[in-house]
């Protein structure tokens, strides 16, 4: 598969993640009498990832997240030569997804993009008023666990065909934990798209939602192979057999 096709798949996947996930937060979470709330938004993000994992996983690997690309790069599951193209595609997909959502959301009287537009924040802009340190720790730890799920579920020793389910449900759980803390990022592209439209504080605080997920992902990318990689040892007949670390 050519790099251009892989990058376009990443664009489509990240578009869907932002439009579907953030769209559920902006359009449906607080709808009078029928709102889906935090639980609904958490499942919306999980479902966008699960559906895209099955749709484009065989094309690009369905990273749709610069932090995931970093973690896979560190774990040596992803070639460095494709990294920049993937990240550019992911950011562009997120911006276009947020743009389409903005057009739809602004069609309702009283819409105020400065209210947040599903942006991530800390301190006074954290949904629950959590501090910078609390939000930093949450994003690092949750992204670390997200990458551990991804690396484990896609390990060649894992049951085949079930990785998208584990990864999608993992993202759902992450949102159930951290929507009140940061509005949940664990994905720099997802944070960038809405922040560009919200402007102001959302752009000022965007740095955390690049730094923390990348740190968490890079740590997982180093830890998983170090702890759980297969070691190859000579078999009885000279063949190579797997020995778990």
Average pLDDT over residues 136-159: 97
Integer Cα distance of 153 and 151 in angstroms:
6
Nearest to 191 by CA among 47, 59, 14, 1: 14
Integer Cα distance of 72 and 139 in angstroms:
18
Let me know: does 95 contact 15? Beta carbons within 8 Å.
no
What the block records as the tokens of 126 is 């954290």
Integer Cα distance of 105 and 103 in angstroms:
6
pLDDT of residue 238: 43
pLDDT band, very low/low/confident/very high, at 244 (cuts 50, 70, 90):
very low
Average pLDDT over residues 1-7: 96
Q: Please state the CATH superfamily assignment of the domain spanning residues 3-244 in this structure.
A: Glycerol uptake facilitator protein. (1.20.1080.10)
Q: What is the pLDDT of residues 116-135, one digit of tens each?
A: 899 999 999 999 999 999 99
Where do the domains of the chain lie?
3-244
Average pLDDT over residues 42-51: 98
pLDDT of residue 122: 98
Q: Residue 185, SS3?
A: coil
pLDDT band, very low/low/confident/very high, at 233 (cuts 50, 70, 90):
low
What the block records as the tokens of 226 is 């170090």
What the block records as the tokens of 194 is 């809405």
pLDDT of residue 110: 86
How far is residue 38 CA from its own chain's centroid? 17
Let me know: does 172 contact 74? Beta carbons within 8 Å.
no
pLDDT band, very low/low/confident/very high, at 230 (cuts 50, 70, 90):
confident
* DSSP string for residues in 94-118: HHHHHHHHHHHHTTSTT--GGG-TT
């Amino acid at each position: 598969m050519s790099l251009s096709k892989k990058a376009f798949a990443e664009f489509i996947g990240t578009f869907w993640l932002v439009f579907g996930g953030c769209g559920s937060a902006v359009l449906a979470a607080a709808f009078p009498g029928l709102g889906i709330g935090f639980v609904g938004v958490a499942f919306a993000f999980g479902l966008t990832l699960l559906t895209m994992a099955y749709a484009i996983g065989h094309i690009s690997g369905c990273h749709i997240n610069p932090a995931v690309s970093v973690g896979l790069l560190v774990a040596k599951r992803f070639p460095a030569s494709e990294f920049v193209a993937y990240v550019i595609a992911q950011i562009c997909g997120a911006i276009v997804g947020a743009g389409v959502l903005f057009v739809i959301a602004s069609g309702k009287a009283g819409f105020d993009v400065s209210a947040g537009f599903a942006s991530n924040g800390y301190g006074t802009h954290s949904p629950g008023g959590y501090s910078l340190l609390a939000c930093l720790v949450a994003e690092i730890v949750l992204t670390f666990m997200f990458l551990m799920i991804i690396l484990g579920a896609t390990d060649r020793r894992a049951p085949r065909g079930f990785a998208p389910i584990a990864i999608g449900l993992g993202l759902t759980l992450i949102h159930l934990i951290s929507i009140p803390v940061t509005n949940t990022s664990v994905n720099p592209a997802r944070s960038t798209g809405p922040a560009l439209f919200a402007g102001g504080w959302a752009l000022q605080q965007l740095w955390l939602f690049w730094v923390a997920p990348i740190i968490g992902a890079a740590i997982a990318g180093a830890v998983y192979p170090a702890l759980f990689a297969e070691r190859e040892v000579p078999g009885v007949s000279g063949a190579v057999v797997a020995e778990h670390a």
